[in-house]
A and B are shown apart, each in its own frame.
Chain A
Amino acid sequence: SYELTQPSSVSVSPGQTARIICSGDVLAKKYARWFQQKPGQAPVLVNYKDSERPSGIPERFSGSSSGTTVTLTISGAQVEDEADYYCYSATDNNLGVFGGGTKLTVL
């Protein structure tokens, strides 16, 4: 299927590890990207090709992949990491698809 499924919310305390999982059949064949979006702002790429981190993104953001699932891990989550997170991938015919988004609460 061309759907990507994420939990609607994840909550952790500051300093804990937050894990956001995204699942979908397309992930078995295609790379995933992760985006962070804070209120009123455009999304920011925080992970690509399943596990690569763009320059300027803190090392606490990491990605991994296994079969039809990808995971964004935030090790030692900070209050400033509170945001919506979206996974993304592309189908065989190059159509983009986003997950429904996960609201991360850090408190």
Chain B
Amino acid sequence: EVQLVESGGGLVQPGGSLRLSCAASGFTFSNFAMSWVRQAPGKGLEWVSAISDSGTITYYGDSVKGRFTISRDNSKSTLYLQVNSLSAEDTAVYYCVKEPADYWGQGTLVTVSS
């Protein structure tokens, strides 16, 4: 059974940083590209970032480029998202997604507030 379990969310002050993790199991992690998608409270889905199966190619949405960094450790079957310079607009549930988007985690909530 495919499982994606996010962690690392929480309350952070504006300008702060967090490292989100997604532990994957039930499939050969190194064979699949992965993505992060977020959803602000009461709002729609927003694509954030994606990474190739090997980790050598990364993509970022305009709203996070230069502040967020996606990475992966295939030996640990874990996906990461380093989020820096956070603002209130980054408050959202962050979902880990196995491409081609056939499996999603349950999400981890990031709240940016003073």
Contacts and interface: CB of A to CB of B under 8 A. Distances in A.
Interface in B30-72: 35, 37, 44-47, 50, 59-61
A24 interface: no
B37 to A, nearest CB: 8
Contacts of B59: 93-96
B101 A48 contact: yes
Interface stretch (B8-16, B20-28, B75-83, B103-111): B103-111
Overall SS of chain B's interface: strand
B102 interface: yes
Main secondary structure of the interface of A (DSSP, over half): strand
Contact of A94 (B45, B50, B95): B50
Contacts, number: 51
A37 B44 CA distance: 10
B47 A42 contact: no
Interface centre among B101, B102, B106 (most CB of A within 10 A): B101
B50 A96 contact: yes
Contacts of A86: 44-45
Interface of A: 33, 35, 37, 42-45, 48, 54, 84, 86, 88, 93-101
